Structure 1
Amino acid sequence: MPTSSRFARGPASPLTLRAAAVALAGLAGATGLAACGDADAGGSGGRTEVVASFYPVAWLAGRIGGGDVSVRTLTKPGAEPHDLELTARQVADVGKADYAVYVKGVQPAVDEAVEKHAKSKSLDAASVVKTLPPPTGGEEEEHEGDHEHADTNYDPHIWLDPSRMATIATALGDRLAKADAPHAAGYRDRAKAVATELSALDRQYRDGLKTCKRNTIVTAHAAFGYLAERYGLRQVPIAGVDPTSEPSPKRIAELSGQIKTAGATTVFTETLVSPKVAQTLAKEVGVKTAVLDPVEGVAEGSSDDYLTIMRKNLETLRPALECS
């Protein structure tokens, strides 16, 4: 990201020097996270190099690592992460990194690369939280050969529960502190701050969804099981774990009946995948559509981050569920 600045002539005061140091440290942290999406980026500049599988864990690594890490993600900005294929260079980057963070079950290629090249220096975020059974309601059982990530015995979409993300933040802070002992205090302090922010987000969701006339969310794919479980909602997914799977006419008919029975007002589309099926279903039943973001990726240049996207999701859910 090109930047420009003007420096005043003459000696700088200690206060000015301290302010400059803080600014540079912040820029270093931002640059590390900005490297997400380019696993072929340049060197880490002496910082701890962290490879992240896709956006939610890359966001955590950038916030917790700050200026002490260089974060690279294996999934390009704006790309749908579920069917990621790694290049030979990316596989090598997994092995060369000081640490890797991922969610096992989302991206089979990443799971394999970590297992072979970074097992002893990685955090599977799903291993530190209570997981839920695989989501039901999609049709992936009819397409077993197309959905390798359905082999896991749990729902991998853990990041859509802020309370679980807070637990992961604490665990990642501890792991990075052990991997880079000279900066241990910074990792743990930043992890605590991030966990506090996520706990506050959790409270916003609990308060915002406490009193609603409806509790059914019809989603583009089965990504919102943890959010539904945490806040007393019921998820009805059009597709299963894989958002690109096409529902059959039979499934569409089933969904139409479920929407009418539940009195749902909205079919939720999402970012990164085509909204056509959801829009067709909504039109057929006579309800609205709205975007509910599974936070699986953020478009390049976007000013949004995990926290702002999740807050927008809450603002989208409340009117759809007629919450007071």
Structure 2
Amino acid sequence: MNVRRRLIPTAALAGAVALAATALTACSGAAGAAEGKDGKLDVMASFYPMQFLAEQIGKDHVKVDTLTKPGVEPHDLEITPKQTAQLGEADVVLYLKTLQPAVDKAVAQSGVKNVVDAATLTKLEVHGTSGHGDHEHAAEGDGHDHSHGEAGEDPHVWLDPVKYAEIAKGVGAALEKSDPDHAADYKKNTDDLVAKLGALDTEFKDGLKNTASKTFITTHSAFGYLAERYGLDQEGISGVDPESEPSPARMKELQTLAKQDNVSTVFFETLASDKTAKTLATDTGLKTDVLDPLEGITDKSQGADYFEVMRANLKNLQKALGTK
């Protein structure tokens, strides 16, 4: 993003910022941004799920850039000084605190005022107990810190359509406050998106209601919210870090679990290595398939956007769990 001239006087901008600060509690900074010289609101998104929301809700009224380019694993993102400067120039920044430590640091250093933290727009939960052994087991002996947020809160909320809809409402409100001239359009687009997410939720509920097994094994423990929403049990090989190596004890434990719970498939993802998944599958005689955490879209993704990839995930889960 290039440095742009502001077309709104400084006093007017300051007044708008002050007004929005009292009206939008979902933002960690005040809203009330100026529009760029092309007449569009400049939005910087931290990674794909935030980018998708901005594009779906903002449509023609926004210009959206992302810090995490296609094919980059978001957890490993490093921010350049240039990107930090670009953050400071954005009208609105959308991110999810704790998911990407480099982004958290860059946002703090940028001094940007109009910040929307998706983690404040829905309730984050801790996954790793009550049947979801991913974080707890994967952390044993592998030497990696898999914790996120407060007390190990799981940041992967966008994989639950219901929680993603809650975030969408907060993002819509932020854009309305930042660009009141187009507030009606943002509201309509938000309502349309929330309705589509509601329909997707129904598809998952109906599609996973009757399955031969409720347990799935995945390399990346990103699906705790999805599992909880639809009555499934996630067993992660490598915790929330898709590149970490599981302990031999964990691999043995998963082999036993696969037999006990009638597991047929080990899932891997497109943005990380499938080596561990294939090793476990070979050792246990299981199949492999893709379960995409939707942290980025590439030409290898099983769909062109959030909805297409989520429906591909549903189809793959139905196949692996034995839909009746």
| Structure 1 and Structure 2 fold alike (TM over 0.5) | yes
| TM-score (norm. length: structure 1) | 0.82
Deviation at 1:149? Answer: 6.1
Q: Secondary structure at the match of 2:74?
A: coil
Q: 1:141 to 1:281 in 2, by over 3 A?
A: closer
Q: Does 1:180 align with 2:172?
A: no
Q: 1:260 to 1:143 in 2, by over 3 A?
A: closer
Corresponding residue for residue 162 of structure 1: 161
Deviation at 1:116? Answer: 3.4
State how 1:129-168 maps to structure 2 within 5 Å.
129-135=122-128, 136-140=135-139, 142=141, 147=145, 150=148, 152-153=150-151, 154-168=153-167
Corresponding residue for residue 233 of structure 2: 234
| CA contact 1:138–1:241 (8 Å) conserved in 2 | no
Measure, in 1, the Cα distance between the counterparts of 2:164 and 2:37.
26
Measure, in 2, the Cα distance between the counterparts of 1:242 and 1:192.
34
Counterpart amino acid of 2:110? H
State how 1:1-324 maps to structure 2 within 5 Å.
45-117=38-110, 120-135=113-128, 136-140=135-139, 142=141, 147=145, 150=148, 152-153=150-151, 154-299=153-298, 304-324=304-324
Deviation at 1:124? Answer: 1.2
Corresponding residue for residue 14 of structure 1: none
Deviation at 1:120? Answer: 3.7
Q: 1:138 to 1:197 in 2, by over 3 A?
A: same
Measure, in 2, the Cα distance between the counterparts of 1:289 and 1:253.
18
Measure, in 2, the Cα distance between the counterparts of 1:213 and 1:140.
29
| TM-score (norm. length: structure 2) | 0.82
| CA contact 2:94–2:115 (8 Å) conserved in 1 | yes
Q: Secondary structure at the match of 1:267?
A: strand
Measure, in 2, the Cα distance between the counterparts of 1:134 and 1:115.
27
Q: Secondary structure at the match of 1:70?
A: strand
Corresponding residue for residue 20 of structure 1: none
Deviation at 1:143? Answer: 6.0
Measure, in 2, the Cα distance between the counterparts of 1:230 and 1:111.
28
Deviation at 1:139? Answer: 3.1
Aligned residue pairs, count: 281
Output one character per residue of 1:93-120: Cα deviation in whole Å (capped at 9) or x when no partner: 1111011111111100111222333564
Measure, in 2, the Cα distance between the counterparts of 1:170 and 1:219.
30
Measure, in 2, the Cα distance between the counterparts of 1:188 and 1:84.
32
Measure, in 1, the Cα distance between the counterparts of 2:150 and 2:71.
25
| CA contact 1:83–1:107 (8 Å) conserved in 2 | yes
Deviation at 1:133? Answer: 0.7
- Percent of aligned positions with the same letter in both sequences? 47
Measure, in 1, the Cα distance between the counterparts of 2:300 and 2:240.
27
Measure, in 2, the Cα distance between the counterparts of 1:143 and 1:285.
21
Measure, in 2, the Cα distance between the counterparts of 1:261 and 1:44.
62
Unaligned runs of 5+ in 2: 1-35, 129-134
Counterpart amino acid of 1:113? A
